[in-house]
Amino acid sequence: MYDARKHPNLLALSLLVFGLALAAPALAKNGGQEAQVNAALAAMAAGPNTVAGPGAYEAGRDGDRLIFDVGSATPQDVCITLRNRGNNGRIKIEVAGEPEEESLRPGLTVSRCFAAPSQIRLKCGGNGSCEGVWRIDRF
């Protein structure tokens, strides 16, 4: 029979191993997800014409984020490349002063060009959260 008084380190080690076994699936998922995001960002590496990004976008349903704002600088013609790497959500590119764009379904990549936009936002819609990567280049 095991006597914890004779082997206190064995009890602590057993509890540590048990705790790691319970946490392993969550750690693997988060580490795997981070590796996928890093790979997607590397595939969309910045070039000589890149003015913003590459960046990662994550949002819940109806969540949006401003990713490009000219501010007081002179606006320039730009193209955005967006990859929806999520499972359910659709990502919409919203550009100030432009008609609404069709939302991008999961698994697809799109490039859209705009004449001197002052702001570009990404907005999540559809049935779930959104995950994507993006880059903005001048043309």
How many domains would you assign to the chain?
2
Q: How far is CA 114 from CA 48, 53, 64, 75, in A?
A: 19, 17, 19, 11
Q: Which domain holds residue 80?
A: 47-138
Q: What is the pTM of this model?
A: 0.72
**Same domain assignment for residues 16 and 75:** no
**Same domain assignment for residues 127 and 87:** yes
**Same domain assignment for residues 60 and 37:** no
Q: Provide the pLDDT for residue 71.
A: 87
* pLDDT, tens digit (0-9, with 9 covering 90-100), for 71-126: 878 889 999 999 999 988 999 999 987 877 789 999 999 999 999 999 999 999 98
**Same domain assignment for residues 54 and 111:** yes
SS3 content of the chain, % helix, strand, coil (to 5): 25, 40, 35
